[in-house]
Amino acid sequence: MATNKNEANQNITLADFIKDVSAQELRKFIITKAKYNLELQNAVFLEFSKNIDNANSGKYSVIIRKALESVPITDEYYHEDLINITVMDQWLEKAKEYFNQKQYSEAVLICKACIEEYSKWLYYIDDNVSSVFYSEYCSLPFSIIKDSLKHLDKKDLFEYYILEMRKKKYSKTAFIFEFKNLIKKLKTSVNTETYIVEQDELLKKAKDKSSSEAEIILRKKYFITGALIKKKKHGLL
């Protein structure tokens, strides 16, 4: 029995349709379409971001920043209880995926980018709007980072978060509380006395004591010193 031609055409799949299309043609098509379709662009980034050079630690920040810039802010947000942001959901899900694959550094890079870029995005939108987004966007990145700690260099993370948490963009978010809890956890793995000595040595080597480099060293030193004073005050040392 002859197959109806129209019925046969309906059975053609996308895989059938592009099987003879060259890789170059497909690449050109995706780049062209993604340029005007941010959802497609983000889908490509999510799928192939691991192919970007890992030395470029800011790769996720650039991607997430662009994606957040495309999130519409409308008056209807004032009347909503809680709103989810698809791009944040997608990237935090990607971070969990990397964590489950034991790619902890990659998971933390995504979480750092979500923390930095989401806080910056919130800082520049209306206060009444910034409070209606899911609180998980502040807590989940830190939860993934905490779960990854035993697999990473805690001292590097400790130094990063001491400096990061003081930035103005976090003033309108709950991130500051998450920072404090994370640093409290990280401090237990840092030898505070040795750390202070190390900062003193770095300060001696700094040619200009009024430079930003010296300011950063002092900031890290006094953060630890302040913590030690509090412990002694409460009889914990």
Most confident of 7-21, 115-129, 144-158, 179-193: 144-158
What lies within 8 Å, CB to CB, of 181 at 6+ separation is: 142
Say yes or no: 201 and 93 in one domain. Answer: no
Say yes or no: 142 and 48 in one domain. Answer: yes
Structural domain of 208: 191-237
73: Cα separation from own chain's centroid = 21
CB 111 within 8 Å of CB 144:
yes
Count: domains in the chain: 2
Is 8 within the bounds of a domain? no
77 has a pLDDT exceeding 60:
no
Rg (CA), the chain: 24
Residue 142 has a pLDDT of 92
Summarize pLDDT for 164-192 with one digit per residue, the tens: 887 888 876 778 888 888 887 777 666 66
Residue 122 has a pLDDT of 83
Residue 234 has a pLDDT of 38
123 has a pLDDT exceeding 80:
yes
Summarize pLDDT for 25-44 with one digit per residue, the tens: 877 877 777 777 777 777 77
CB 178 within 8 Å of CB 129:
no
Is 162 within the bounds of a domain? yes
Is 218 within the bounds of a domain? yes
Say yes or no: 160 and 199 in one domain. Answer: no
Say yes or no: 35 and 120 in one domain. Answer: yes
Is 169 within the bounds of a domain? yes
Say yes or no: 156 and 211 in one domain. Answer: no
233 has a pLDDT exceeding 60:
no
